[in-house]
Amino acid sequence: MEETLMEKLRRGDAPPALRKAAEEESLPLEEVAGAIVEGKAVFPCNRARSPERPCIIGGGSRVKVNANLGTSSDYAGLEEELEKLRAAVEAGADAVMDLSTGGPLDRVREAIVDASPLPVGSVPIYQAAVRAQEERGSIVAMTPEDMFRAVEDHCASGIDFITVHCGVTMRVLETLKANPRVADIVSRGGAFLAGWILHNEKENPFYEDFDRLLEIARRHEVTLSLGDGLRPGCIEDATDAAQVAELVVLGELVQRCREAGVQCMVEGPGHIPLHQVEANVSLAKAVTRGAPFYVLGPLVTDVAAGHDHVAAAIGGALAAMAGADFLCYVTPREHLGLPTAEDVREGVIITRIAGHAADIARGIPAAREWDLRMSRARKALDWEAQLELALDREKARRLFGERQVEGERACTMCGDFCAMRFISHFLGKEEVPVCE
């Protein structure tokens, strides 16, 4: 069997795509390669495809942002999903995931993979569940073969990383039952597998036959994203016994991935109050021995419906500052419905702001330099430079243009009373006269 990326790097053979990605982040290739070999960074890139914009996750790289796409049984249009993909790419996402559960799932996934310049992830258990519902009348009628068939299909179609909820085990579910929750299980994949385990009274096939998952991942060079099926879905359930029990299982599986030469990252919560975010990241990093940490949010309040992307950005910035490596965006429509292309765009932008804020705190030189250039442009009242340097250039230009007076150097917030323009006259940095 062909060597995996981890195995190639162990003997000093780095692919050109990784060299380029390291160079773009001003990271020494040796450090990046070492982090991947140690399992502290991943470079998702299916053997069957070469994304135009692959990315390093973890290992001292900047914080990355993922955007979720995908159909539902109510909205199953392929063109809409491709429009969302374009919105995510244009807004600066680093990766996308296809979470489709409606319509022609294979065609949607393959179209997204073909059209995406970014790494693409997916959750194969969704397709296994949909097939079981359609063919056998019930999700719990899935067989282990159905589950592994979906994994094989997704990997063979060029998917770069897959979420697999291997930590939802019989023992972990016993912990859940012994420690009741307000919101029980909010992860779709986690709920499907938990229901299957409880109904069939059998162990999770992804856990019981983890070696089979590793073999598929090796063959296709697919990164395993070890999913948090027991992530808390509300503040009240945060950092409870079931969440921690699942994390311990994932920590064991991380080591098995490393021994097999398979890249992996670990997914994290969820809904977490602000004062518990840092502790959650530290715990996950300790239990998984530094595996890249991929968080959904975390959302720091449950009452922000319509603004959940803001709640997630607050938690995401703190999580990334504490060591999280990969932020899964949340859109304004979270908890309310399937997002539109504009929701996708807004979710990516605000999550990028969270990631960038954390990059500054983490000492990423390029992040600090970007802000410094913006500050100098603001001091000089150089509007063109400011608009070009804005993380969301499109919105910045629109807002500036809507409320700007032609020929006026200052913005209409201060007009003649612009602080920067006023004080420059007295500090000798500007020749423009100030009215006296």
Instruction: Please tell me the predicted confidence (pLDDT) of residue 430.
Output: 55
Instruction: Please tell me the predicted confidence (pLDDT) of residue 416.
Output: 82
Are 153 and 240 in the same domain?
Answer: yes
Which of 363, 393, 409 represents a domain boundary (last residue)? 363
Q: Give residues with Cβ within 8 angstroms of 352, minimum separation 6.
A: 65, 91, 92, 93, 391
pLDDT per position as a tens digit, 366-375: 999 999 999 9
Structural domain contains residue 433: no
Are 423 and 337 in the same domain?
Answer: no
Which mean pLDDT values do the consecutive 10-residue runs of the chain (436 residues) have? Answer: 94 96 97 98 96 97 98 95 98 98 97 98 98 97 98 98 98 98 97 98 98 98 98 98 98 98 97 98 98 97 98 98 98 97 98 98 97 95 96 96 82 84 76 44
Instruction: Please tell me the predicted confidence (pLDDT) of residue 407.
Output: 72
Are 154 and 204 in the same domain?
Answer: yes
Residue range(s) defining the domain that contains residue 417: 366-427
Structural domain contains residue 23: no
Structural domain contains residue 195: yes
- HEC-encoded secondary structure of the chain: CCCCHHHHHHCCCCCHHHHHHHHHCCCCHHHHHHHHHHCCEECCCCCCCCCCCCCCEECCCCCEEEEEECCCCCCCCHHHHHHHHHHHHHHCCCEEEECCCCCCHHHHHHHHHHHCCCCEEECHHHHHHHHHHHHHCCHHHCCHHHHHHHHHHHHHCCCCEEEECCCCCHHHHHHHHHCCCCCCCCCHHHHHHHHHHHHHCCCCHHHHCHHHHHHHHHHHCCEEEECCCCCCCCHHHCCCHHHHHHHHHHHHHHHHHHHHCCCEEEEECCECCHHHHHHHHHHHHHHCCCCCEEEECCECCCCCCCCHHHHHHHHHHHHHHHCCCEEECCCCCCCCCCCCHHHHHHHHHHHHHHHHHHHHHCCCHHHHHHHHHHHHHHHCCCHHHHHHHCCCHHHHHHHHHHCCCCCCCCCCCCHHHCHHHHHHHHHCCCCCCCCC
Are 238 and 211 in the same domain?
Answer: yes
Rounded to the nearest 10 degrees, the angle between the axes of helix 241-260 and helix 170-178 is 160
Are 395 and 379 in the same domain?
Answer: yes
Are 94 and 242 in the same domain?
Answer: yes
Are 257 and 399 in the same domain?
Answer: no
Are 68 and 185 in the same domain?
Answer: yes
The answer to whether 292 and 326 have CB atoms below 8 angstroms apart is yes
pLDDT per position as a tens digit, 163-207: 999 999 999 999 999 999 999 999 999 999 999 999 999 999 999
Structural domain contains residue 283: yes
Are 192 and 286 in the same domain?
Answer: yes
The answer to whether 240 and 266 have CB atoms below 8 angstroms apart is no
Structural domain contains residue 380: yes
Q: Is the pTM of this model over 0.85?
A: yes
Which of 331, 363, 395 represents a domain boundary (last residue)? 363
Are 300 and 286 in the same domain?
Answer: yes
Residue entry with tokens 């392929």: 78
Residue 325 belongs to a domain with what CATH number? 3.20.20.540
Are 198 and 65 in the same domain?
Answer: yes
Structural domain contains residue 150: yes
Are 203 and 54 in the same domain?
Answer: yes
Residue entry with tokens 């040796």: 30
Structural domain contains residue 185: yes
Structural domain contains residue 389: yes
Q: For 381, phi and psi rounded to 5 degrees?
A: 55, 35
Instruction: Please tell me the predicted confidence (pLDDT) of residue 434.
Output: 42
Which of 334, 363, 392 represents a domain boundary (last residue)? 363
Number of domains in the chain: 2
